[in-house]
Structure 1
Amino acid sequence: MQNKLIELAEQPSLRENELKFTVGDTVDVHTRILEGDKERIQVFTGVVIAMKGAGMRETFTVRRIVAGEGVERTFPVNSPKVADVVVKRHARVRRAKLYYLRDRIGKATRLAERRAKPWEAETHG
């Protein structure tokens, strides 16, 4: 159980609208980029291969292939830099961490589609 004082201190910094995705989902992560005095949104698309931590320390790792090379980025769930996470596709996985995808190439990285659960169908469908 987490310390009550830490939990109380973190409460104001937590995201109000909870992000609903899980490991294996293909997502678009909309991140805020500051360039000088202007702000723009950049999209990073990939498969969520890991989620870890809790509270303010909760993070998720997204992997995609760019020009034949694997690129992974780790995003804090509660960061104000993460504007939105849009789920494109749900995959059926049997592991909490999909690090085995790092060793696979091409079509071997595909994950089987899974049907939406009732709570996902009403919010995303």
Structure 2
Amino acid sequence: MESLIKYVQDEFVSRKELPEFSAGDTITVYYEIKEGQKTRTQFFRGVVIQKRGTGASQTFTIRKMSGTVGVERIFPINLPAIQKIEVNKRGKVRRARIFYFRGLTGKKARIKEAKR
């Protein structure tokens, strides 16, 4: 059964060429929004909290601060509405999932930049 699912995902799910990023990186995701007959491009810039899943079902979570409120959004990696992803900053973290980042405020919420 697993091989059948893997075969269908490899054959029929279209893959996009996206840059490599991981937890701690600051990225900008440009995605398309449909409002009635019109479509427009919106972006979401924030820190990658986690990447989870494999293959076609892979997702990533981005967290940004909107004023004093933290906003998180989960994007499927194969979402057709995603136009492009830009990696703004590479972060140096020691975890694959940085949920502790939610509780940090002020200067403690900064992530060191990695030299990659």
Corresponding residue SS for 2:86:
strand
- One-letter amino acid of the counterpart of residue 51, structure 2: M
Q: Deviation of residue 5 (structure 1)?
A: 0.8
Q: Deviation of residue 21 (structure 1)?
A: 1.1
Q: Deviation of residue 18 (structure 1)?
A: 3.8
**Number of residues paired by the alignment?**
115
| Match in the other structure for 2:76 | 76
Kindly report structure 1 stretches of 4+ aligned residues shifted beyond 6 Å.
Answer: none
Corresponding residue SS for 1:4:
helix
Mapped pair 1:105 → 2:90: no
- One-letter amino acid of the counterpart of residue 27, structure 1: I
Does structure 2 retain, via aligned residues, the 8 Å contact 1:27–1:48? yes
Q: How does 1:43-82 map to 2 (within 5 A)?
A: 43-82=43-82
Partners of 2:80 and 2:16 lie apart in 1 by 11
Q: 1:26 to 1:44 in 2, by over 3 A?
A: same
Alignment RMSD (CA, Å): 1.3
Q: Is there any run of 5+ residues in structure 1 with no aligned partner, and where? A: 117-125
Corresponding residue SS for 1:107:
helix
Q: Is there any run of 5+ residues in structure 2 with no aligned partner, and where? A: none
Does structure 1 retain, via aligned residues, the 8 Å contact 2:26–2:90? yes
